[in-house]
Amino acid sequence: MERKPLVSIIIPARNEEKFIDKCLKSLVSNSYENKEIIVVDGMSKDRTREIVKKYEVRLIDNPERYTSYALNLGIKNAKGQIVMIAGAHTTYSENYISSCVDKIVNDKCEISGGQVITFSGSNTSKAKAIASVISHPFGVGNSKYRINFNKEAYVDTVAYGLYKKELFEKVGLFNEKLIRNQDIEMNLRLKKSGARIMLVPEAKAFYYARDKIISLMKNNFGNGFWVIMGRKYAKYAFSIRHLVPFVFVIFLISMLFLFNLLKWIYLPVLSVYFLLDLFSSIQIGIKNKSFKIFFWGLIIFPILHVSYGLGSLWGLLSFVLKKANKEV
């Protein structure tokens, strides 16, 4: 591979007028010059398309509207040797592409991606708490790219990854039957094929989180749903860690019927969960120097876990009933 390979940046988007301008500015002005930008738009009804047309980028229609279809359209139209999957809610450090390309060109990996620094979607205490929760280990587990892990490392997955395009010729494109979590399935498939995925901490992506609890719940419910439902369409749809919220919800439901009989199990587990919730909320409260953010953290951590777990439970029921809802 030549020293400065062409990078095709694919951005799936739909109704992203609030963020798409910032996203495109950061990519157009990125220090890596040999690049093309492809926005795959899901027939936006707001000003997204109007904003995109102000930039020298390729705009492709996505009549199916969902992400996996958009990603495959982008890959099929990509001219580069390396494909970057970008998010419209995100901006990127000036060195993001060059740092990640360097790891691939120097044969350290086949896939690379940077740290995700989460910003609040608005200036309210609630929004700031949401951003803190989804970048905390108690909120998102061992997702190193989300929790400010500052060492170069081989990982299971990265966000906004750069991929050797030849990988898609080897393992196939994204599974279009997966409406959500297609990235989880793709990364598992790539790892099974022997591809190495590297976290590049000096590359930074700045993600703007949802600023309303109902939006967080809906998004996590959908992610949890497709973790389970995805097994209907893919052999490797999830890892064991993705089932933890589901197990927790089953535990809570079983408690309604068996608490008196098994309180010696339930009480210690609930106590440990409450202490972890309290400790993690104190951490984000201190970090943000805000009692309100501490308070919201106490509420939002359980909401994050339970909404994901309920989504997985509904996914299991839908799997058994052989029904999938594209709107989830």
**pLDDT of the residue at 328:** 58
Q: How confident is the model at residue 327 (pLDDT cuts 50, 70, 90)?
A: low
Whether 164 and 286 share a structural domain: no
CA distance 134 to 124: 16
Give the tens place of pLDDT for each residue, 83-114.
Answer: 999 999 899 999 999 999 999 999 999 999 99
pLDDT 10s digits, 154-211: 998 898 999 999 999 999 999 998 888 888 889 889 988 999 999 999 999 999 888 9
The total domain count for the chain is 2
Output the pLDDT for position 168. 95
Residue 326, pLDDT score: 54
What the block records as the tokens of 74 is 């982008």
- The answer to whether residues 66 and 200 belong to one domain is yes
Count other Cβ atoms within 10 Å, centred on residue 211: 17
Same-domain check for residues 251 and 134: no
Q: Is the pLDDT of residue 235 over 90?
A: no
pTM of this structure: 0.87
Residue 115 within any structural domain of the chain: yes
**Domain harbouring 76, CATH code:** 3.90.550.10
Q: Tell me the mean pLDDT in the region 18-25.
A: 95
Q: Tell me if 163 sits within 8 A of 113, measured CB to CB.
A: no
Q: What is the pLDDT of residue 6?
A: 96
Mean pLDDT on 308-322: 89
Tell me the per-residue pLDDT of 64-76, one tens digit each, with 9 for 90 and over: 999 999 999 999 9
DSSP calls for 91-123: EE-TTHHHHHHHHHHTTS-SEEEEEEEEEPSSS
- Residue 173: inside a domain, yes or no? yes
What pLDDT, on the 0 to 100 scale, is given for residue 233? Answer: 81
Instruction: Put residue 141 in one of left, alpha, beta given phi > 0 → left and psi -120 to 50 → alpha.
Output: left
For residue 325, pLDDT beyond 90:
no
Residue among 211, 210, 222, 212 nearest 307 (CA) = 222
Find the domain containing 248 and state its range.
Answer: 232-321
In tens, the pLDDT along 262-292 reads 888 889 999 999 999 999 999 999 999 999 9
**Claim to verify: residue 130 and residue 265 sit in the same structural domain:** no
